[in-house]
Amino acid sequence: AELEQEREELEQENQQLRKENKRLRAKIRWYEGPHTPPSKEQSDQEESSSSDEDEDDEQPRTDGGTPGRKPGHDPAWRPAPDLDEEIEVTCDCCPDCGEQFDESAGVSPRLVEELPDPQPPEVTQYNRHHYQCHSCGSETVASHPDCPDEGQFGVNVIAQAALSRYDHRLPYRKIGDRFEQLHGLELSGASAWHATERAARAGRCEYERIRHRIQQADVVHIDETGIKRDGEQAWIWTFTTEEHTLYAVRESRGSDVPAEVLGEDFAGTVVCDGWTAYPAFSSELQRCWAHILREAEDAAEKEAEGEAIYHAL
């Protein structure tokens, strides 16, 4: 009787664990379902790995392992950079007893990579001469390729400001601080903003040229990713063909964005995921195979009938 009661208790516990397992698997599918991009899954794994490493840092290792590469692992070397200068480092006498050296017994080369000292800004005054045509009366102001049409900052300042903002993600105030620290150039946050605006205007013609080429393409891959812009939710849209890629940052995630970029009469095929904005924009759709395979894999885990379909795909 005692064994029978213990068996019943174990069966009840087993049923409860099965229910809990089913609930947790459903929760995992919700957060890591077929529509979760691999980049997000990788990010979550890295965060989890980082957390584990932090915990490991707090506690000494008990498995007897040591940090670093394991014995027998092939070394990884950086490729040697090209030399800009070669300096012979010699010594005339022994530092211990003062005996004079006759000749070197060997050479031990050491490559050192160093940054040059930060350079102050170059200040150039362009005296632009004005001319008036005696024939037609039109006035002309002479131009110089290094003299900008507006503002007091040259193209390198503008380019570095744009890189600092959009590649390094620095606030405008920090961009000004960086210029002052590295070059002694006084640049306010407002001036940094104006520099990025000038960079945008300079690239507008090329941007529109690429957009026109994409509008004429037979197949365009589109995707959108959420970002924060000045603390507010926005979306960075990517439009890609075999030859071009165009980015568009918009506050909308709706079908109005592809209609704006590609044109409402776009006749090509859109390769995309299952987001509702795409069928609202076009009926010529090709679902992304990565999403299809993830959805098929998810279906195979839920239903036995789906496994054959997943392996067939």
CB contact set of 56 (below 8 Å; sequence gap of 6+): none
Do residues 291 and 34 touch, judged by C-beta distance below 8 A? yes
Question: Which percentage of the chain shows pLDDT scores above 70?
Answer: 86
CATH number for the region 216-296 comes to 3.30.420.10
What integer best gives the mean pLDDT of the chain?
A: 86
Beta strands in the chain (DSSP E): 130-132, 139-141, 219-229, 232-240, 245-250, 269-272, 285-287
Closest CA to 110 of 133, 80, 137, 134: 80
Q: What is the pLDDT of residue 195?
A: 95
Find tokens 């392992």 and name the residue.
65
Q: What is the pLDDT of residue 289?
A: 83
This prediction has a pTM of 0.64
Q: What is the pLDDT of residue 297?
A: 82
pLDDT tens profile 258-301? 999 999 999 999 999 989 999 999 999 998 888 888 888 877 88
Per-residue pLDDT at 79 exceeds 50: yes
Token pair of 145 as six digits: 């390729």
DSSP 181-234: HHH-----HHHHHHHHHHHHHHTHHHHHHHHHHHHT-SEEEEEEEEEEETTEEE
Interval 132-152 mean pLDDT: 92
Do residues 149 and 126 touch, judged by C-beta distance below 8 A? no
Per-residue pLDDT at 23 exceeds 70: yes
State how far the Cα of 102 lies from the Cα of 94, in Å rounded to an integer. Answer: 11
Residues of the chain with CATH 3.30.420.10: 216-296
State how far the Cα of 120 lies from the Cα of 104, in Å rounded to an integer. Answer: 41
Strand partners for 131:
140
State how far the Cα of 6 lies from the Cα of 45, in Å rounded to an integer. Answer: 41
Token pair of 154 as six digits: 């040259």
Distances (CA, A) of 32 to 37, 40, 299: 9, 9, 13
